[in-house]
Amino acid sequence: MNQGRKVSGGKYHQRRKRRFHEKLNQENHIFLGETKRKNLRVKGENKKTILLKENLVNLIINGKAKKAQITNVVETPQNRFLARQNRLLKGAIIQTSLGKARITNRPGQEGNINAILIKEVQ
């Protein structure tokens, strides 16, 4: 049977609208580019800053943080096609001005990008 239909073919009607806390945010994709952020109003009158585009990363090297420029997205474990689109998300391997790094946070939720330098075995 079609979803949302009774056995007789009639429709099920929604009893009420969605409340604010039940609404889902539109999925945001973070791309490589000039920095662009957006502020959202979230539950409890709080504000959340989300990232739309970014080209800088907070890189952790031996416990010290440095700013570095992102040049390219090398690999994305979730889906190889996301790396082709230069999408920045958790676990992605990126090429920076200081070497390859892995993103350790969720940029779409936090408004910045944190990563750790990958030591390459030769």
* pTM strictly above 0.85: no
| Extents of the domains making up the chain | 20-117
Bigger pLDDT: 1 vs 105: 105
Given pLDDT bands bounded at 50, 70 and 90, which one contains residue 45? Answer: confident
Contact criterion met (CB below 8 Å) for 82 and 92: yes
Query: What residues have CB less than 8 Å from 61, skipping those under 6 apart?
Result: 98, 117
pLDDT of residue 121: 57
What is the side-by-side strand order in the sheet with 36-42? Answer: 31-32, 46-54, 36-42
107 φ, ψ to 5°? Answer: -60, -30
Per CATH, is 20-117 categorized as 3.40.1390.10? no
